[in-house]
Amino acid sequence: MRRAIVTAAVALAVAAYPSGPLLAQARHLDSAMQQYVRVDAPVVALTHARLIDGTGGPARDDQTIILRGETIAAVGPAVSVTVPADARVVDAAGKTVIPGIIGLHDHMYYGGMKFMGVSYPRLFLSAGVTTIRTTGSVDAYQELNLKRRIDSLELPGPEIVVTGPYLQGPGPGPGAMHPLSGPDDARRMVRYWAEEGVTWFKAYTQISRAELAAAIDEAHRHGVKVTAHLCSVGFREAVDLGIDQLEHGLLTNTEYYSGKQPDVCPTVGDSAIYGALDIESPEVQRTIHEMVKHHVGMTSTLDVFELSTPSRVPEDQRVLDALYPAAATQVAKYYESGKTAHDSLHIAVFRKAMQFERDFVNAGGLLGAGADPCCLSAIAGYGDQRNYELLVEAGFTPEQAIQIMTANGAKILGFDKRVGTIKPGMQADLVVLDGDPVRTPRDIRNVDIVFRRGIGFDPTALRESIRGLVGLR
Ligand SMILES: [Zn+2]
């Protein structure tokens, strides 16, 4: 299937979004790409779908969505939207269409921070994830190069928002990170990577307030942003320093620990800090209000927090299939061990993390989501899907959970005029699911087709191509 014609709509879309991926050449997909593509036509009509459009509004039945080139051209009830004569029609009766998932904490690594440049882009896409922010890179040049190849349609994968190497202080931490020696060093690092083209930074667990302040200031001078997985610095301190976003939520906020020393990450376990914590207490609510007041968004990563509650084992055969054999054996053992685990305190803490996120949203906070594919059973794509099930469990409506995973992520990235919702004029990034995730949250896993920039990818072909590769490359 060849995309020889660049339609007027595509040309317009490019003109309207000069910062987006350019389409200088006609959309010729070479054979390396074509093997993953199921639908590739200038005009596509998805008919009779259930639609969750990403705005948080209720799901609508029997909708037709017209894609023209890279753009969503029309959306509406099947009875009122005219299907163009030249459209390739995809009957979506019995299926649900959602916007492409935006993974805000979607690393490109697994197990010992090994770069997964081959398996992850395909795995993300197969799971319906069409945009990722890497949120702490292990090799920023690899990410920048991979991003360019995906942007030019040379490789299948999500749009990548590249984050610089972790901004980390000295002390414990994985070997891929540079230990900052002070504020000037933080500025030097931010300046260098901002000039190389990264658009976000992630500060990490051992950074000092002075280094974080310098990094934020330098990033903002370069028009780029800073998020953080904190520990040595509390959430309110980071908000005061002007941070743009915060990762993970409650269980990385140490400011409630009575023994907290300035600039020091406590070495006590979660239960010592959060076991007796009351989310409704004025202190916790004050954090939420200060974040909301300063427009500091937050990334929910419930799927990776779930790994800290030993009895809650998110068994997923697809994870075992994707991992290389030695890692699959290890994860199978972990799945088995969950069956006899006792962890009532861990479960109580996990519930508090959920409540913190709910309260944050109820107070007007902007919550996105990400998978944190790092380790054990948390891998690209499937972790993002698990987040949907967990957000619903946390008390969000299905439509809110989809909004958190799509439109809110787009807002946090500043991409919301282009992606994150299903409306005319938006980029054609959307996921066709078999079934109805409103009634059955697990249906989020049943991806039928993933459209990115109007190209309909085949999740089975993508998934089969990386069988046994996750953990290796
Ligand atoms: Zn992470």
Decide the pairing of beta strands 88-91 and 43-51.
parallel
So what's the pLDDT on residue 28?
79
Same domain as 444, residue 350: no
Decide the pairing of beta strands 447-452 and 430-434.
antiparallel
Average pLDDT of the residues in 115-135 = 98
C-alpha 246 – ligand 1 centre gap (Å): 12
Cβ 332 vs Cβ 307: under 8 Å: no
Q: Extract the tokens encoding 142.
A: 């690899």
Cβ 402 vs Cβ 52: under 8 Å: yes
So what's the pLDDT on residue 368?
98
Torsion angle of C-alpha atoms 262, 267, 271, 277, degrees rounded to 10: 0
Q: Extract the tokens encoding 215.
A: 């990094």
C-alpha 21 – ligand 1 centre gap (Å): 26
C-alpha 268 – ligand 1 centre gap (Å): 20
Average pLDDT of the residues in 100-129 = 96
Q: SS3 of 245, please?
A: strand
Q: Per residue in 131-182, pLDDT tens? A: 999 999 989 999 999 999 999 999 999 999 999 999 999 987 667 899 999 9
Same domain as 78, residue 47: yes
Q: Extract the tokens encoding 290.
A: 């200060």
C-alpha 108 – ligand 1 centre gap (Å): 10
Distance CA 334, CA 332 (A): 5
Residue with more model confidence, 435 or 111: 435
Average pLDDT of the residues in 304-312 = 92
Q: What is the mean pLDDT of the chain?
A: 93
Average pLDDT of the residues in 95-112 = 97
C-alpha 350 – ligand 1 centre gap (Å): 17
Q: SS3 of 285, please?
A: helix
Average pLDDT of the residues in 448-469 = 98
Q: SS3 of 372, please?
A: coil
Q: Give a yes or no: residue 469 inside a domain.
A: no
For every residue of 191-213, which 3-state class applies, written as one string?
A: HHHHHHCCCEEEECCCCCHHHHH
Q: Is the pLDDT of residue 3 over 50?
A: no
Cβ 70 vs Cβ 41: under 8 Å: no
Same domain as 433, residue 302: no
Same domain as 207, residue 159: yes
Q: Give a yes or no: residue 452 inside a domain.
A: yes
Amino acid at 100: G
Same domain as 93, residue 109: no
Q: Give a yes or no: residue 420 inside a domain.
A: no
DSSP 134-156: -SSBS-HHHHHHHHHHHHTTSS-
Cβ 370 vs Cβ 384: under 8 Å: yes
Q: Give a yes or no: residue 178 inside a domain.
A: yes
Q: Per residue in 51-86, pLDDT tens? A: 999 999 999 999 999 999 999 999 999 999 999 999
Neighbours of 97 (CB within 10 A): 25
Q: Give a yes or no: residue 169 inside a domain.
A: yes
C-alpha 220 – ligand 1 centre gap (Å): 22
C-alpha 107 – ligand 1 centre gap (Å): 7
Average pLDDT of the residues in 326-340 = 94
C-alpha 424 – ligand 1 centre gap (Å): 34
Q: How many CA atoms lie less than 13 Å away from 393 in the CB half-sphere?
A: 15
C-alpha 106 – ligand 1 centre gap (Å): 7
C-alpha 77 – ligand 1 centre gap (Å): 41
CATH number at residue 359: 3.20.20.140
So what's the pLDDT on residue 174?
65
C-alpha 294 – ligand 1 centre gap (Å): 23
C-alpha 202 – ligand 1 centre gap (Å): 9
Cβ 108 vs Cβ 137: under 8 Å: yes
Same domain as 106, residue 96: no
- Residue 165 is given by DSSP the state B
Q: Is the pLDDT of residue 5 over 80?
A: no
Q: Domain range holding 244?
A: 102-413
Residue with more model confidence, 132 or 113: 132
pLDDT > 90: what percent of the chain?
A: 87
C-alpha 136 – ligand 1 centre gap (Å): 7
C-alpha 229 – ligand 1 centre gap (Å): 7
Same domain as 19, residue 57: yes
Give residue 218's Cα distance to chain centre: 25
Same domain as 185, residue 276: yes
Cβ 352 vs Cβ 250: under 8 Å: yes
Decide the pairing of beta strands 245-247 and 297-300.
parallel
Residues near 367 by beta carbon (within 8 Å), at least 6 away in sequence: 297, 298, 299, 300, 357, 360, 361, 404, 408
Q: Give a yes or no: residue 473 inside a domain.
A: no
Same domain as 435, residue 340: no
Which residue from 105, 10, 52 is spatially nearest to 401, judged by alpha carbons?
Answer: 52
Residue with more model confidence, 8 or 359: 359
Average pLDDT of the residues in 284-298 = 98
Cβ 109 vs Cβ 138: under 8 Å: yes
Q: SS3 of 131, please?
A: strand
Domain count, the chain: 2
Cβ 23 vs Cβ 14: under 8 Å: yes
C-alpha 305 – ligand 1 centre gap (Å): 11
- Chain position carrying tokens 């390739």: 88
Distance CA 106, CA 405 (A): 12
Residues near 5 by beta carbon (within 8 Å), at least 6 away in sequence: 26, 42
Q: Is the pLDDT of residue 11 over 80?
A: no
Q: Per residue in 408-425, pLDDT tens? A: 999 999 999 999 999 999
So what's the pLDDT on residue 106?
98
Give residue 323's Cα distance to chain centre: 20
Same domain as 394, residue 279: yes
CATH number at residue 436: 2.30.40.10
Q: Give a yes or no: residue 471 inside a domain.
A: no
Cβ 36 vs Cβ 23: under 8 Å: no
C-alpha 368 – ligand 1 centre gap (Å): 14
Same domain as 453, residue 327: no
C-alpha 363 – ligand 1 centre gap (Å): 25
**CA distances for 79 relative to 64, 83, 213, angstroms:** 8, 10, 56
pTM: 0.94
Last residue of a domain, one of 387, 413, 439: 413
So what's the pLDDT on residue 176?
80
Same domain as 25, residue 165: no
Q: Give a yes or no: residue 329 inside a domain.
A: yes
Cβ 143 vs Cβ 160: under 8 Å: yes
Distance CA 327, CA 344 (A): 28
C-alpha 151 – ligand 1 centre gap (Å): 24
Distance CA 462, CA 120 (A): 10
Q: Is the pLDDT of residue 10 over 70?
A: no
C-alpha 358 – ligand 1 centre gap (Å): 21
